[in-house]
């Protein structure tokens, strides 16, 4: 995935930086068995990147995690 299908209020560059950082911090070999049946890519793209984005939105906008989730979800419409 290029990140185009993932809601991201930080744009493509932000998605790329977050994705690269998470992939560096969590090597595939250390997590595959723990999170089966998710693949490493699925875990990164469907769980860790969205959670990182929520944390960044909470910090940047000083909102609750629930509000950050709503902001993240609504950013899908606008890219």
pTM, two decimals, is: 0.76
Residue 28 inside a domain? The answer is: yes
Residue count of the chain, please give it.
79
Per-chain mean pLDDT for the chain:
83
Handedness of CA 31, 32, 38, 41 (dihedral sign): positive
Residue 68 inside a domain? The answer is: yes
Residue 4 inside a domain? The answer is: no
pLDDT at 27 over 90: no
Residue 48 inside a domain? The answer is: yes
Are 57 and 72 a contacting pair, CB within 8 Å? yes
Residue 6 inside a domain? The answer is: no
Are 40 and 28 a contacting pair, CB within 8 Å? yes
Q: Which two tokens stand for residue 54?
A: 């929520």
Residue 2 inside a domain? The answer is: no
Label residue 56 by pLDDT band (50, 70, 90): very high
SS3 content of the chain, % helix, strand, coil (to 5): 75, 0, 25
Q: In total, how many domains does the chain have?
A: 1
- Its domain, for residue 57, covers 11-78
Q: Which two tokens stand for residue 11?
A: 């744009």
Percent of the chain whose pLDDT exceeds 70:
81
């Amino acid at each position: 995935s290029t990140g185009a299908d993932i809601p991201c209020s930080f744009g493509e560059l932000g998605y790329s930086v977050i994705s690269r950082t998470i992939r560096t911090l969590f090597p595939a070999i250390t997590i595959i068995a723990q999170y089966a049946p998710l693949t490493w890519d699925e875990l990164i793209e469907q769980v860790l990147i969205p959670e990182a984005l929520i944390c960044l939105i909470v910090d940047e906008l000083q909102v609750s995690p629930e509000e950050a989730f709503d902001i993240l979800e609504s950013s899908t419409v606008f890219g």
